[in-house]
Chains A and B, each alone.
Chain A
Amino acid sequence: MSTNNNNHRAPVSQKPLKVPKPQDTTTIGSMISIEINEKKFSVPFGTTILEACRDNQIYVPSLCHHEDLCIAGVCRICVVEVEGMKTLQASCAFPITQQIKVKTTSERVRRARRHIIDLMLSEHYGECYSCVRNKNCELQNLAGEYGVDGFTFGHPEKPVFEIDRSSYSVMRDMNKCVLCRRCVRTCIDIQEVGVLEAVERGDKTKISTFFDRPLNDVICINCGQCINRCPTGALFTNDPSDEIWAAIDDPKKHVVIQTAPSPRAAIGEEFGMPAGKSYTRELNTALRRIGFDKVFDTNYSADLTIMEEGTELLLRLKKKLVDKDDSVKLPQFTSCSPGWVKFIEHFYPEYLDYLSTAKSPQQMFGAITKTFYAQESGVNPEDIVTVAVMPCSAKKFECNRPEMTDSGFKDVDYGLTTRELAKMIKEAGLHLPELPKSDFDDPFGEASGAGLIFGATGGVMEAALRTAYELVTGREVPFENLRIEACRGFEGIKQASVKLENVKTEWKFLEGVDFKFVVAHGTANARKVMEMLKAGELNDVHFIEIMACPGGCIGGGGQPIPTSPEIRKLRAKAIYEEEESLPIRKSHENPHIAYIYEKFLTDGPCGHISHKLLHTHYTKRGDFIV
C-alpha cells in the first residue's frame, strides 16, 4: 500500500496543496478579512497572499510564480512578513485561511529581496545586451526595480555550461538559468511530457534531461511552452533570421513567406501594444518592406487542409459504415500541430493510424509553393526559399523532418516564430503598428475565415464542421452567424455532437448519424483523451482535434512572452473578431481552392497528386529518438 503507483514521470507533489477557493463567496466563512500594509481587505478563503495583493493593486514581485503553473515557492523573491511568524513567508505559496496581517515592504522584506536578487545574479552568466530576452526579462526587471548597481556577491566571469543547440526548435543556455523550475513544471504539469527535471543537489542543482542528453536526443515534443514561461534567456528558439536575411539579400533567390493566423493576432504585443488586436495587413506591408518577394496567407493552405482532412474523414466513415472495413481507424485525429504529432509518435505510437495523413497547413503550403506556384509564376523552384511565420517552435522541427521533401526540394526552408519576426521587423527599422495596410499576394491571395480560426483551440474542428456539414447536407451549419460555440472556449477537453439529417443522396449512409467530436489542447489533455480512447470511451466519436499548446496556436511556443490565460483569451478574441469581418468564411467556398483543384490537384482531394504532395506518414518513435 505504500508504493505510489501512478505513471507520472515526475513529481506532481505541490499540486494537491493548493487550497480550493469557494464557489460561492456569499456563504458564511467564504470571505476572510485581512490586513495588508495596515489597510483592510476582504478576500476569498484560500486566496494566496500574492493574489490578494495583486487583486488589490499592491505590487509584490515574483519570479518562480506563473499563473499557468502550480505553486513552487522556490525563488523566495515574493517573501512578505506575516504577523506572528518568525520567518518571512513566500506570498505565492501562502493560502489565506485565517485572519492575518501582512507587510509587503518592511525593511526585512526589502533586504531579503535584494539579497535574493544579488544571489541570483552571482550565478547568472551573460550580459543583458547580448541576450535574446533583453528588455523582456524578469530578472533584469527585478534588478532594475531593486536598484542593483553592482554585484554584491560576485558575478560569473565564465560560462559553466555549454549551450545545447542540438534541437531544431528549443535551445538551452543553462548559464542563465535561475532554477525557478517553471520549465520543469510546464513540461510535466501542462504538457505531461517531463523531459526537464532538477537533478543533483545543493549548489550543483541544475535543470537537466534524461542522463543529461541533448534535447534532440530525448523525447521533447518541441512545443516550446517552457520558453514561454522562462523568466530569463535560458531557453530560446533556434533563430534562422540570419539565414533568411542572407536569402533576401541574394538577388538570385525568390523568397516567399507565409504567415499563420496566430502571429498576426499577437505580434502587436512585441511592439508594446496591448494583447487582443490583429495586425494582419500591417504585417503584410512590413514583410514586403523587409524584402520578401511574395507574402502569402497560411490560411489558404488551412483551407486546403480542411478539404483534404475533411475528405479523408468522410472516406474513412464510408469505408467503415458502407464497406464495413474494420481496419479503418476512427475517430480521426487532426495532424496540424507538430508538437502533438511528436507527442503521439512518442507516447502512443500504436495509435498513429488514427492520425490524419494530411500535412499541416505549413507543409502543404511549402509543397504547393515549390510546385504549383513555381509552375504558375515561372520561377525555378530551386531558387525559391520558403519561410513560414509561425506561433510555434515545433514547426522548425516539422519543416526539417526528412519526409517533408515531396516537392523535390525541402518544402519549407525556415520556420520563423512570431518573436523572431518581430525582431526582424525592428531590425528593418519598422514600427509595425504605424505601417499602412496591404493585402496578401496572388495566386493565394484570398483565404477563408475558417482558415483563420485554426489559431484558436477548436478552430480546426469548427472549420471542418462548416465544410463537412455543408458538403453532406447541402445546408450551412445550423448555428447563428456560423459560430459553433461548442468548439470555442478554453476548457481542456470539449465534447459535443451535430446531428446529420436530410443528407444528400451520395452521403445517405450518414443519415441520422450524430456526428461526435472532441477538442483538446495542451498535451496533458491530449494524454487524457488518449487514455479515454484506450479505455474504449471514445468508440462512438468521429473526429478529434488536438493542439499541443494551451489555447491552441495562439498560445504557441513562438508567441510573444509573457503568456497567461487572460492574454490567450484576448488573442483568441482578436482572431474570432477578424474572422467575422471576412467575406468568405468556409474553406470550400474559397475560389482559390477551387482553382487549384481545377488546375493542379486535378484528381481532387485525397487523389493521387494530393496524396503525393499534401499527405505524409509518421514514425513510431516510442521511447526512441528516430
Chain B
Amino acid sequence: MEKAKRNGLVLFTDYQQGSAVKKAVTLTRDDILFELREAKLKGRGGAGFPTSTKWMLTAAAIADKKYIVCNADEGEPGTFKDRVLLLEYPELVFEGMVIAGYTIGAEYGFVYLRGEYNYMLKSLNDYLAMMRKENLLGKDIAGKKGFNFDIEIKLGAGAYVCGEETALIESLEGNRGEPRNRPPYPVNRGYLGYPTIVNNVETLASVPHIINKGGEWYCTNGTDKSTGSKLFSVSGDCEKPGVYELPWGTTINELLDLVGAKDTKAVQVGGASGVCLNQEQFGRKLAYEDAGTGGSIMIFNSKRSMIKVLKNFMEFFVEESCGQCTPCRIGNRKLLEGVEMIEKGTFTFGYINSLKELAKTMQIASKCGLGQSSPNSFLSILENFDDEIFHSKGNGVSHVN
C-alpha cells in the first residue's frame, strides 16, 4: 500500500480500519440515512442518483432477503480510479458495503469485479478473510447482536454493458448480461427478484468517512449540488496522468494546470459515453450540474485528429452494445458509418444531419444508459469541432492517433 503518496480531501485521507463499522452499529438505521442525506452523496458511477434515496427505498422494501452489490465493473474507457480504491483502500469499499447491509437489513453483498481485474482477486479475498477474523464480517459484526453480513467477489466476463446495474444483476444471476426493463427498479426487484442496492465502488468508499465525520463536514467540499470530492482518472496528453481527488466544482482549466496539460484542444469528460469539450468550454465546472462525469478525463492536444478520436469511441460502442434494442444495436453502427464517411470525405451534410437526428432518438429511445449516452460523443465532437472536421483543408489537422 502506498497511501502516503496520495493527497486528497476525503477518500485519500487517513482512516482507521473498522472505525466506521464500529460506529455505525451504534447508530440507528435512520441516523445513517439522515447523515447520508445531509451529505447529499450522489452516485459516483456518473448518473448521480442520490445515494440516500436509493438506500431508503431498499430499506423500505418488504422482503425476506436483500442484497448489496458493489459495482466494480470499471469499464468506461479512461476510468481507473476504482482500481486504485480496491488496491489501496479496500477497507473503505468493504466497510461501505457492511454499513449498507446494516442500514437496509441485508445479510449478503457481492462485489462484481471487472474480469480484467482478476489479478486483485487474491488480495481482495485475503482482505475479506482478515475482516472476518476481525469480526468486521460474519456473525454479530462488531459485537452487534443479530447483525450478520458477508461479502463474495464475483468476476465479470468482459462486457462493458455489465456496468449497467440491471445487466450486472443479470450477469450475476448467470444470464447473458443484458439490461432489464425498468420499472421495476433493482431497489424493489433486483438480484433474484429481491431488493438490491447497486452502488459504485467510489460511492461505497465515501460512506465510512461520512459516518465518521458527518454529513455536514462532507458538504464543506464541493458545490451546493455536488458535495464532497471526486476521483478523476486523468489520461491523455498531459505530463502527470493519474488518479486525482479534487473537490467537485473544479474547473477544467484548473485540472489541466494541475496535471500539466499543454496545448490542449479537447477534453473528453465522462469517458466514451461522455461529452467532448473544446477550449471555449474549459471554464466549465466538473460537477453534476455542469460537466458531470463518472471520473474519466481524457485530454487531447492540438495534434490529435478529432474525427479519429470519435471513430475510436464509436467503434467501441458498436462492439459493446448488448445487441438487445434496435436504436443502440443498429444506431451505433450507422453513426460509425457516418464517421467513416466523414473521414473519407464521402458524406453529404444532409445525411450527417439525419444521423444527428438519429443520435437524438438513440438518446431517448434506447433501453438503457449505454444506448442513451453512446451518441453523446458523436453529437458533441461534431458540434464542438465543427470547423476542424468539416471546414479545414484536408478534412482535419494532422492525423496522429
Residues of A within 8 A of B (CB): 1-4, 11, 13-14, 16-17, 19, 71, 73-77, 79, 86-88, 90, 93-95, 97, 108, 111-112, 115-116, 119-120, 122-123, 152-153, 178-179, 197-198, 200-205
Contact = CB atoms under 8 A, between A and B. Distances in A.
A106 to B, nearest CB: 11
A203 B332 CA distance: 8
A94 B361 contact: no
Contact of B365 (A116, A197, A198, A200): A116
B159 interface: yes
Contact of B181 (A73, A178, A202): A73
Given A16-B193, A116-B365, A198 B176 contact: yes
Contacts of A4: 173-174, 192
Given A112-B361, A120-B330, 17 more contacts: A2-B152, A4-B173, A13-B175, A13-B178, A73-B325, A73-B367, A74-B326, A79-B364, A97-B183, A115-B331, A119-B331, A178-B326, A179-B323, A200-B323, A202-B318, A203-B333, A205-B329
B170 A111 contact: no
B365 A203 contact: no
B181 A90 contact: yes
Interface string B95-139: 000000000000010100000000000000000000000000000
Contact of A202 (B183, B326, B329): B329
B324 interface: yes
Contacts of B358: 115, 119, 153
Nearest first, the 7 A-B pairs at minimum CB distance are A205-B323, A11-B175, A93-B181, A119-B330, A115-B361, A112-B365, A73-B181
Contacts of A86: 364
A3 B334 contact: no
Nearest to B369: A87
A120 B180 contact: no
Q: Is the interface of A mostly helix, strand, loop or mixed?
A: loop
A115 B329 CA distance: 13
Contacts of A11: 170, 173, 175-176
Contacts of A17: 180-181, 184, 189
B363 interface: yes
Nearest to A111: B361
A201 B327 CA distance: 14
A112 B159 CA distance: 27
B320 interface: yes
A19 B320 CA distance: 30
A76 B319 contact: no
A74 to B, nearest CB: 5
Contacts of B333: 203
A410 B330 CA distance: 48
11 contacts: A4-B192, A14-B180, A19-B184, A90-B181, A111-B361, A115-B331, A116-B326, A179-B329, A201-B322, A203-B323, A203-B333
B183 A76 contact: no
Nearest to A119: B330
A76 B325 contact: yes
Nearest to B158: A201
B330 A203 contact: yes
Contacts of A201: 159, 161, 319-323
Contacts of A93: 181
B319 A202 contact: yes
Interface in B297-342: 317-327, 329-334
Contacts of B159: 201
Contact of B320 (A1, A97, A202): A202
A112 B358 CA distance: 8
B372 interface: yes
Interface in B162-193: 170, 172-176, 178, 180-181, 183-184, 189, 192-193
B7 interface: no
A119 B184 CA distance: 28
Contacts of B325: 73-76
Interface of B: 108, 110, 152, 154, 159, 161, 170, 172-176, 178, 180-181, 183-184, 189, 192-193, 317-327, 329-334, 354, 357-358, 361, 363-367, 372
Contacts of B108: 1-2
A255 B297 CA distance: 76
Nearest to B317: A202
Contacts of B364: 79, 86-88, 108, 112
Contact of A76 (B173, B193, B327): B327
Nearest to B170: A13
A94 B181 CA distance: 8
Nearest to A122: B330
A77 B330 CA distance: 14
B363 A87 contact: yes
A124 to B, nearest CB: 10
A249 B323 CA distance: 49
B347 to A, nearest CB: 13
A94 B180 CA distance: 11
Given A74-B324, A201-B323, A2 B367 contact: no
Given A13-B180, A198-B176, A115 B323 contact: no
A76 B181 contact: no
Contacts of A94: 181, 183
B154 to A, nearest CB: 7
A16 B354 CA distance: 39
Contacts of B324: 74, 179, 198, 205
A152 B365 CA distance: 18
Contact of B326 (A87, A95, A120): A120
Contacts of B184: 17, 19, 95
A511 to B, nearest CB: 51
Nearest to B184: A17
Contacts of B183: 94-95, 97
B264 to A, nearest CB: 31
Contacts of B174: 3-4
B334 A122 contact: yes
B320 A76 contact: no
Given A88-B365, A111-B357, A202 B321 contact: yes
A173 B108 CA distance: 46
A204 B322 CA distance: 10
A122 B161 CA distance: 24
Nearest to B333: A203
B323 A204 contact: yes
A354 to B, nearest CB: 33
A198 B329 CA distance: 13
A87 to B, nearest CB: 5
Contacts of A200: 323
Contacts of B181: 14, 17, 71, 73, 90, 93-94
B4 to A, nearest CB: 36
A252 to B, nearest CB: 53
A169 to B, nearest CB: 27
Contacts of B189: 16-17
A112 B154 CA distance: 38
A74 B329 CA distance: 10
Contacts of B180: 13-14, 17
A87 B331 CA distance: 16
Contacts of A19: 184
A570 to B, nearest CB: 31
Contacts of A13: 170, 173, 175, 178, 180
A494 to B, nearest CB: 29
